[in-house]
Amino acid sequence: MIPYLEKRAEHSQTMVYISPFIALGLTLLGGIMLFSLLGKSPAQALYAFFVSPLTSLYGWAELGVKASPLVLIGVALSIGFRAGVWNIGAEGQLTLGAICGGCVALWMYPVDSIFVLPLMMIGGILGGMFWASIPAFLKTRFNANEILTSLMLTYVALLLLSLLVHGPLRDPDGFNFPESRIFHDAASLPIILDGTRLHLGAVFALVAVGGIWLLLSKSLIGFQVKVIGQAPAAGRHAGFSVNRMIWFTLLLGGGMAGLAGMFEVSGPIGQLLPTISPGYGFTAIIVAFVGRLHPVGSLFAGLLIALSYLGGENAQITLNLPIAVTGVFQGMLLFFLLACDVLIRYRIRFKPVSRLRHG
Amino acid sequence: MVDILIPAIITIITASTPLVYAALGEMIAEKSGVLNLGVEGMMLMGAVTGFIAVTQTSSVMIGILAAMLAGAGMSFIFAVLVLGLQATQVATGLALTIFGIGLSALIGQGLVGVAYEGIPKLSIPLLSDIPFIGPILFEHDILVYGSFVITVVVSWFLRKTRAGLILRAVGDSHHAAHAIGYPVIRIRYMAILFGGAMAGIAGGYLSLAYSPLWIENMSAGRGWIALALVVFATWRPARVFFGAYLFGGITILQLHAQAMGAGVPSQVMSMLPYLATIMVLVLISRDQKKIKMNSPACIGQPFHPSS
């Protein structure tokens, strides 16, 4: 018997919800194999990865710290992906947001005012939007592929950050280390849970989920995103402007990524460093897909992926597992998810060997 | 002057060679109608696997072969997902890159700091003694010569052979090719695997010859530059080759400028290859007709025999 795919007459709504769980199950199986290959007890490793980080309140707070940027960016990216705009340079937009937000903080040092944080947030958002506006401009004006331009700009942004912390933004009393001054209190994000690092960014991430859900379900532009994503021809006939969609989705993604970057430097990090993100901007792509390009889905996916970051750190300390396992896990999850999505549109059938025709 | 020029040109050749391989491989995959954004991930896997194989066996051939197989193996995952399971090509390619970055870092964690002297240079007798031209053209490692050969072969394959014509037909109209009776899926599998093997060699070249060691993420965006090169070259092998050398040249020029202390911060110089990529993409893409005429018509579209 040979398995083959038969197209379903309609997309299976059940599978839309079930397939992420099948993918998660397969990823766990893959993880068990991976850990065995690395010579660790799978049970111990899975416990270290997915259970023990959540056995304390501090662990849950850390989950929120890691999930905040992922959810903020993932939710915004999913809008673009729905409309077929592939902004994969969120990491660069995050970096620019961190730079601009950080510059505001350093510029206002040591002014103690309640306006410092809002200004930093505006700086972060504008920085990210500016960085995303470059691929938007190049796409709408010159038809340059946004996948490649936004990605190239990520490398440029990381180099720019390195340049700034090695030069103009270096801490004057910092013994020449490539770090900025540590932000003063008025420029640091308030902690919302005492004794942890959970900061105001988590609240913003939840607001973003709600806001984008409203945008998608209630607004005209949300409707246009859905139409263009599902039936581009219908969108064109209805007169929806593709260029407007490109600008809107890129600026939205850039702004949110910039905000996430500003939150990172103003919250958990507290200063500008040469490296400020463990690849949140890239991982947010996985968050968007695992979350089914849906705002609420992205929230759960963001928490799941955040757990894999926490678990990776924990497994590194307790089991001496390399931190790179996290990336392998995340990649596997996305692979299995994409593979399982076949079940939404197709049925798996079996036929005898003799009737097999080569496609 | 010649004393500076010859080493500079030689380093340009070594910087361009991995781009030639990766971009030619990707071009073949795209010619068959498949966009594989996983070049970066496949290159990294090729780099780490090739490096392990060489340091374990001290056989250059086994190293190159291992790099090829690693790239092809990665591309096989991609092929099964997009051809067998109808997954979106863009998302699957991104997943391949993310997965490749993680897996190569995991495999290579014990290799940081391991030294390797690099693939030996093969001087071609007599020819390499010609002044100026000799050292530039005839004193390279085998992979550099291979990149010249593969460019010619790919060009010949696409223009002059029946198989090349079929490949292009599949990329331009998979339904028509299927109707005539060509095995669309099988041809695409082969094109993707070829692309993966080439990306694997490209990665292997980085860790075996360009800078013979393993560092996490050492391809530093070259896989993406290769993707841009294919568009820049409007899917033509000779232009891919030329484009790769243009980028190799920019990379080396900025390195030399950094070394000479041009008064510009090193980070600004390091931005140049990425900015140049954006520039050439813009220059080429602005002519939409040119892109439309040259790009494979079915690129990125899924194909299922029953539809």
Model confidence pLDDT, tens digit, residues B75-133: 999 999 999 888 888 889 988 998 999 999 989 888 877 878 878 888 778 787 787 77
Other C-beta atoms closer than 10 Å to the C-beta of B81 total: 24
What does residue A169 show for φ and ψ, rounded to 5 degrees? -100, 10
Q: Which amino acid is at B273?
A: P
Q: Quick one: average pLDDT of A214-241?
A: 84
Greater confidence (A168 vs A94) lies with A94
Nearest to A128 by CA among A300, A277, A293: A277
Helix, coil or strand: residue A349? strand
Q: How far apart are CA A213 and CA A206, in angstroms?
A: 11
The predicted model scores a pTM of 0.89
User: What is the tally of helices (H) and strands (E) in chain A?
Assistant: 14, 2
**pLDDT band for position A359 (cuts 50, 70, 90):** very low
Query: Taking CB atoms and an 8 Å limit, are A286 and B98 in contact across chains?
Result: yes
Question: What is the pLDDT, as a whole number, of residue A95?
Answer: 97
Helix A280-290 crosses helix A325-340 at what angle (to 10 degrees)? 30
Question: Mean pLDDT across chain B, nearest whole number?
Answer: 88
Each residue's pLDDT tens digit, B185-220:
999 999 999 999 999 999 999 999 888 889 988 998
Q: Quick one: average pLDDT of A129-157?
A: 93
Question: What is the pLDDT, as a whole number, of residue A102?
Answer: 94
Nearest to B28 by CA among B75, B98, B82: B75
Please tell me which of the candidates B102, B185, B271 has its beta carbon nearest to residue A159.
B271
* Residue B73 host element (H or E): helix B60-79
Q: How far apart are CA A296 and CA A277, in angstroms?
A: 24
Calculate the alpha carbon distances from B81 to A133, B40, B167, B267 in Å.
Answer: 33, 18, 20, 38
User: For a pLDDT cut of 70, what percent of chain B falls above it?
Assistant: 98
Q: Quick one: average pLDDT of A64-72?
A: 95
Q: How far apart are CA A50 and CA A52, in angstroms?
A: 6
Domain range list for chain B: 2-113+127-294
Q: Quick one: average pLDDT of A103-125?
A: 92
DSSP β-bridge partners for residue B140: B122
Please tell me which of the candidates A142, A327, A339 has its beta carbon nearest to residue B101.
A327
**B-chain residues within 8 Å CB-CB of A142?**
282, 285-286
Q: Quick one: average pLDDT of B148-170?
A: 92
Q: How far apart are CA A117 and CA A237, in angstroms?
A: 45
Q: How far apart are CA B182 and CA B32, in angstroms?
A: 12
Query: Taking CB atoms and an 8 Å limit, are B268 and A163 in contact across chains?
Result: yes
- Residues A298/A219, Cβ–Cβ less than 8 Å: no
pLDDT at B20 > cutoff 50: yes
Each residue's pLDDT tens digit, A151-175:
999 999 999 999 999 988 888 887 8
* Residue A4 host element (H or E): strand A2-7
pLDDT at A354 > cutoff 70: no
Task: Please give the domain boundaries of chain A with CATH numbers for all domains.
Answer: 1-37+322-359 (no CATH), 39-319 (1.10.3470)
pLDDT at A358 > cutoff 70: no
A210 touches chain B (CB under 8 A): no
CB contacts under 8 A, A 302-341 vs B, are 322, 324-332, 334-335, 338-339, 341
Question: Mean pLDDT across chain A, nearest whole number?
Answer: 89
- Burial-class residue B304 by CB neighbours within 10 Å (0-12, 13-18, 19+): middle
* Residue B289 host element (H or E): helix B288-294
- Residues B248/B200, Cβ–Cβ less than 8 Å: no
Each residue's pLDDT tens digit, A23-39:
889 999 998 998 888 88
Query: Taking CB atoms and an 8 Å limit, are B94 and A159 in contact across chains?
Result: no
Each residue's pLDDT tens digit, A247-259:
999 999 999 999 9
Classified by CATH at the fold level, domain B2-113+127-294 comes out as: ABC transporter involved in vitamin B12 uptake, BtuC (1.10.3470)
Question: What is the pLDDT, as a whole number, of residue B307?
Answer: 54
Least trusted range by pLDDT, from A249-258, A304-313, B64-73: A304-313
Helix, coil or strand: residue A3? strand
- Return the residue in B45, B86, B268 with the most chain A beta carbons within 10 A, the one to mutate for interface testing: B86
DSSP β-bridge partners for residue B122: B140
Tokens encoding B233:
């070259």
Query: ipTM of the assembly?
Result: 0.88
Greater confidence (A191 vs B260) lies with A191
Closest approach of chain A CAs to the CA of B297, in angstroms? Answer: 16
Tokens encoding A236:
């064109």
Please tell me which of the candidates B85, B225, B286 has its beta carbon nearest to residue A142.
B286
Each residue's pLDDT tens digit, B220-244:
889 999 998 998 888 899 999 999 9
What residue ranges in chain B does DSSP mark as E strands? 122-123, 139-140
User: For a pLDDT cut of 70, what percent of chain A falls above it?
Assistant: 98
* Dihedral sign computed on CA atoms, order B164, B165, B168, B169: negative
Q: Quick one: average pLDDT of B48-58?
A: 92
Q: How far apart are CA A292 and CA B99, in angstroms?
A: 19
Q: How far apart are CA A265 and CA A318, in angstroms?
A: 28
Largest CA distance in chain B: 64
Q: Quick one: average pLDDT of A178-194?
A: 87
pLDDT at B51 > cutoff 90: yes
Nearest residue of chain B to residue A150 (CA atoms): B278
Can you say how many angstroms the Cα of residue B82 is from the centroid of all Cα atoms in its chain? 21
- Burial-class residue A60 by CB neighbours within 10 Å (0-12, 13-18, 19+): middle
Tokens encoding B190:
């082969």
A263 touches chain B (CB under 8 A): no
Question: What is the pLDDT, as a whole number, of residue B2?
Answer: 66
Nearest to A160 by CA among A89, A94, A99: A99
Nearest residue of chain B to residue A137 (CA atoms): B282
Strands A346-351 and B139-140: unpaired
Nearest residue of chain A to residue B95 (CA atoms): A331
Q: How many CA atoms lie within 13 A of B27 on its CB side?
A: 32
**A-chain residues within 8 Å CB-CB of B270?**
159
Question: What is the pLDDT, as a whole number, of residue B130?
Answer: 81
